[in-house]
Chain A
Amino acid sequence: MRKNLSVIIFLICFFPILVTAQVGVTLNKFTPDEASNYLRPLSTWFGTYLNSGTYYSADVDNIFGFKFSIIGMWTIIPDDQKTFKPNPKTEVIGEVEPTATVFGNRNGYFLSSTGFFTYPTGLSLKAVPMGIYQLSGSLFNTELMVRLFPRSNFDEVRLGLFGFGLKHEISSHIPLLPLDISVQFLYNNFYFEYIGKKTENFTKINSNNIAFNVHASKTFAGILIAYSGLQYESSSTDLDYYYESSVAADKINYVQIDGDNHFRFTVGGALKLGFFVINADVNFTKFTTFTTGLSLDF
């Protein structure tokens, strides 16, 4: 099977656990409409992943505060996100069965005028484990969080990640409130581009994700924190890829893929041990996500 090298490299860099998968991801056979349906769950996953793990407390320091966090996530891929009904451009003899999305495990096929056409399969994932790191600084009950992996070239691939969050503790303006309450805005961008010489491997992914949340927390005995939040979020991924079309002008296709991200509810707890904070939460959204974090909090 011909593999799309760039996507494989992307997976190796950003999904180290996936290198044990036996099949890769090939976009070249997909029409723009099909590529969009194939990768939509990935766009949704970007929105889920990048908008996770952004808080464990609504309490923001009035004087200078600093945090460094390492966050692990476990995102469950629902079964309905593992297949889609393709819409082939060529003439079909008989029926077209559903085929795998990027996370699916069963590729579809149909009989065309030139014989059997088989779609690529997906990564066969029921869950996606992932991690991220972030730095935060706070002053005057306002916190700036930054995630940064500068755009860098690795062999034939250029990739980078940038994100920021701006948070303000609104309960600081309301005296005698038994809870801490904050609002937070988030923006995250993930960029990937194949920069090698093989035109057929060309892939460019630019994922933009925004979120806005309101969250509250309550600290017990100075060490235990219970927190919860409601978040609105959206994700959009721009994809450029090489398409095996008979028309030369159609070789590089562009599609914009909107993720299925809308609202999420988060509930979790944290344990404060001196400068260290361990937290865990569950995020109820399109892809239920469990996160756990270790933070250095001054």
Chain B
Amino acid sequence: MEKATRKTVVRLTLSTIAMFVAVFTIMPPLYTLLCEVTGLRKVGGAYEAEEIKVDEERWVTVQFVATHNAAMPWEFKPMDFKVKVNPGQKKVIKYFARNNSDKAMVAQAVPSITPFAAVNYFHKIECFCFNHQPLRSGESAELGLEFVVDQDLPKQVTTITLSYTLFDITEQAQAELAGLH
């Protein structure tokens, strides 16, 4: 190999290695630094779990609503229409559902929360809406919901309304229906 070529190759190989090393040594710290300077996001240091503090000074009313999708023959309603909770306090309530049709069906509830400002501060820990609900003809079930209202809920929100709409998904969930028989 000619001397000039060797020099070029050595130079380029070194640049390649330098760029590879830079990805690990320069880019992540630089990114962390930029995030800190701009205050954009917390990077570096693992996130730590924070205790939920129950705010006993403050009361929030949570209302429950049930609606049917037009073609849904089930009986579906909340067993408590409203509860008062402290932010940070876990609470369990139940909905009631009965299959009034003459065939086995599978339903799915889709939640909706108002006002919009409360959406990010209402946490469902366990909810029947996470699952499909199969019921035989005439069968009924109590559907549990465990939730907590975040202690950072904006001050102006005093009432949160949680609405469930029940949809018939029998056609899409034949497998679960087979499990009933």
B is a partner of A = no
Give chain A's interface residues, CB within 8 Å of chain B. Answer: none
Give chain B's interface residues, CB within 8 Å of chain A. Answer: none
